[in-house]
């Protein structure tokens, strides 16, 4: 995107600084995200929000602002300046809105960049896994008293397995013969796992697992760390909505324990790292053990398997639908992502029974 255009959009916001340069941050699959360097004391994140996928952008931005406000209210004695180093802070535009609507139909928002922070697409150190677990625990603790009736449902049924399965079944119906053939091995795996992968959803619907305010996009690249591996905070609060903690635990594990990137094509590089699972779980339970119910703890391994599955299912669905949802860089990108997730499940299964036994013990 041209510097002049980004600069003029950035200048719609009230940041009292001047654009110097920008770089695109590429880890998201939906929005477009840019780091804007300025001549002032702060740099900023400028984001174009995909309004084809997010139907109510003002509602989404309001969710994000309310979430940050709620998290900030936990630190009544800390200045805004200090808060902006550990909680996402949104910047208003010149009309006092937290988003800017450009006449061409795009929505934009701006956040303060948290200085000296870094993200990881792949985890290479169990300290990061442990710190990541604590960050999620802190996030869930921080939002545990948040009145979720203030939030809009950004994408209804976002992690609802029944609804994702329905979308998948309809993609199978409409897919081209060629794509179906290429996906054959994976459609078979989906059929084999279907029943087990609905267990968490059923427990949620039966009221056995409590609904809380959850993040819903906890992949590890959505957590900020210091350069010496300490957790700072979770970012990308686009999908904060009511949910079960298993969505968040499982989605984080899906990315932390994958020894390769989510779209690595060489499946021999894709393995489930059990040490990182243990470290993440340790950090997570240290921060949440007083609030989780035994049934929540018992089902953490199933959460991991279910969230890897649901992402595999969603990538496969998008492949069968001719790539209409996620950004793709080449023809079979979604199929490669799906294959990667199903390989990760295969690797997880090698020690799945051990993880389940440990979870039963931890829950008792
Ligand atoms: C999408 O765009 P990004 O990276 O924040 C998706 C998540 C998936 C993720 C897979 C709204 O998130 O659910 O886990 O890709 N977000 C939406 O990497 O669908
Ligand atoms: Mg996201």
Tell me the mean pLDDT in the region 233-256. Answer: 98
Which position has the higher pLDDT, 320 or 102?
320
Write the residue with the smallest CA distance to atom 3 of ligand 1.
28
Mean predicted confidence (pLDDT) in 275-282: 98
- Cβ–ligand 1 distance for 70 under 6 Å, the answer no
Q: What is the mean pLDDT of the chain?
A: 97
At 103, the pLDDT band (50, 70, 90 cuts) reads: confident
Q: At residue 129, does pLDDT exceed 90?
A: yes
Would residue 156 count as lying in a domain?
Answer: yes
- Mean pLDDT value of segment 316-322: 98
Mean pLDDT of 108-118: 97
Residue range 187-200: average pLDDT?
98
Q: How confident is the model at residue 104 (pLDDT cuts 50, 70, 90)?
A: confident
Complex ipTM more than 0.85, yes or no: yes
Contact 319, 168 (CB under 8 A): no
Q: Is 28 in the pocket of ligand 1 (CB under 6 A)?
A: yes
pLDDT of res. 210: 97
Position in ligand 1 atom list of the atom nearest CA 327: 2
What are the angstrom distances between the C-alpha of 160 and each of 216, 269, 306, 347?
11, 30, 11, 24
The yes-or-no verdict on residue 322 having pLDDT over 90 is yes
pLDDT at position 27 = 85
| 174 has pLDDT over 90 | yes
Same domain, yes or no: 345 and 271: yes
- Among 28, 29, 158, 306, the mutation site with the greatest number of ligand 1 atoms within 8 A of its Cβ is 29
Asked if residue 39 belongs to a domain, the reply is: yes
Which of 115, 142, 176 is the endpoint of a domain?
Answer: 115
Report the pLDDT value the prediction gives residue 61, as an integer from 0 to 100: 98
Q: Are residues 88 and 132 in the same domain?
A: no
Unique residue bearing structure tokens 């959009």: 9
Q: Are residues 276 and 247 in the same domain?
A: yes
Residue 325 pLDDT: 98
**pTM of structure:** 0.97
**Quick one: 111 and 140 in the same domain?**
no
Q: Are residues 154 and 106 in the same domain?
A: no
Confirm whether 14 is domain-assigned: yes
Q: Kindly state whether residues 334 and 216 are assigned to the same domain.
A: yes
Instruction: Give ∠ CA 23-315-160 in degrees, rounded to 5.
Output: 110
Domain end (from 115, 134, 163): 115
Whether the predicted pLDDT of 275 surpasses 90: yes
Q: With cut-offs at 50, 70 and 90, classify the pLDDT of residue 166.
A: very high
Residue 73 lies in a domain: yes
Domain termination residue (choose one: 92, 115, 138):
115
Is 121 domain-assigned?
A: no
Mutate which of 122, 217, 251, 340 for ligand 1? The one with the most ligand atoms within 8 Å of its CB, which is 217
Query: Is the confidence at residue 1, as pLDDT, over 80?
Result: no
SS3 of 264, please? coil
Are residue 77 and residue 131 in the same domain, yes or no?
no
pLDDT, tens digit, 9 for 90 and up, residues 299-314: 999 999 999 999 999 9
Backbone angles phi, psi at 133, to 5 degrees: -60, -40
Summarize the confidence of residues 244-266 as an average pLDDT. 98
DSSP per residue, 200-231: HHHHHHTTSS--EEE-S---GGGEEE-TTS-E
146 and 284, same domain (yes or no): yes
Ligand 1 atom index nearest CA of 155: 11
> Both 102 and 135 in a single domain?
no
pLDDT at res. 237: 98
Judgement on whether residues 81 and 155 belong to the same structural domain of the protein: no
Domain count, the chain: 2
Q: Which one of the ligands is nearest to 27 CA? A: 1
Per-residue confidence at 105, pLDDT binned at 50, 70, 90? confident
Same-domain pairing of 280 and 138: yes
CB neighbours (10 Å) of residue 116?
Answer: 11
pLDDT tens digit string along 75-101?
999 999 999 999 999 999 999 999 999
Q: Which domain holds residue 268?
A: 126-363
Residues 82 and 134 in one domain: no
Region 42-47 average pLDDT: 98
C-alpha of residue 237 to centroid of ligand 2, in Å: 7
CATH code of the domain containing 216 = 3.90.1200.10
Question: Residue 120: inside a domain, yes or no?
Answer: no
Q: Provide φ and ψ at 39, rounded to 5°.
A: -90, 0
Q: Show Cβ contacts of residue 41 under 8 Å, excluding neighbours closer than 6 positions.
A: 17
3-state secondary structure of 183: coil
Instruction: Residue 34: give its domain's CATH number.
Output: 3.30.200.20
pLDDT on residue 363 = 94
Q: Could you tell me which residues come within 8 angstroms of residue 358 by beta carbon, excluding any fewer than 6 positions away?
A: none
């Amino acid at each position: 995107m041209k510097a002049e255009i980004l600069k003029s959009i950035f200048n719609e916001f009230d940041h009292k600084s001047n654009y110097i340069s920008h770089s695109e941050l590429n880890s998201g699959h939906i929005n477009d995200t840019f780091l804007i360097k300025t001549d002032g004391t702060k740099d900023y994140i400028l984001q174009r929000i995909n309004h084809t996928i997010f139907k109510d952008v003002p509602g989404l931005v309001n969710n994000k602002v309310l979430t940050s406000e709620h998290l900030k209210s936990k630190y009544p004695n800390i200045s805004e300046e200090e808060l902006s180093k550990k909680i996402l802070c949104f910047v208003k535009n010149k009309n006092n809105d937290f988003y800017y609507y450009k006449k061409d139909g795009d929505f934009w928002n701006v956040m303060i960049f948290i200085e000296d922070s870094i993200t990881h697409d792949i985890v290479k150190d169990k300290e990061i896994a442990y710190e990541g677990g604590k960050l999620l625990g802190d996030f869930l603790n921080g939002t545990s008293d948040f009145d979720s009736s203030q939030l809009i449902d950004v994408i209804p049924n976002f992690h609802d397995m029944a609804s994702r399965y329905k979308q998948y079944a309809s993609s199978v119906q409409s897919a081209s013969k060629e794509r179906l053939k290429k996906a054959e091995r994976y459609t078979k795996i989906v059929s084999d796992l279907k029943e087990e992968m609905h267990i968490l959803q059923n427990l949620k619907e039966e009221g056995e697992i409590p609904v809380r305010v959850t993040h819903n996009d906890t992949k590890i690249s959505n957590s900020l760390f210091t350069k010496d591996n300490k957790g700072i905070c979770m970012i990308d609060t686009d999908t904060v909505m009511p949910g079960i903690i298993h969505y968040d635990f499982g989605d984080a594990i899906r990315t932390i324990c994958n020894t390769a990137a989510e779209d690595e094509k060489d499946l021999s590089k894709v393995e489930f790292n059990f040490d990182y699972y243990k470290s993440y779980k340790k950090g997570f339970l240290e921060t949440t053990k007083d609030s989780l119910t035994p049934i929540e703890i018992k089902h953490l391994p199933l959460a991991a398997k279910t969230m890897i599955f649901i992402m595999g299912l969603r990538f496969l669905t998008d492949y069968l639908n001719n790539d209409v949802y996620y950004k793709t860089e080449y023809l079979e990108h979604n199929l490669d992502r799906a294959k990667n997730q199903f390989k990760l499940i295969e690797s997880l299964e090698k020690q799945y029974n051990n993880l389940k036994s440990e979870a039963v013990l931890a829950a008792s």
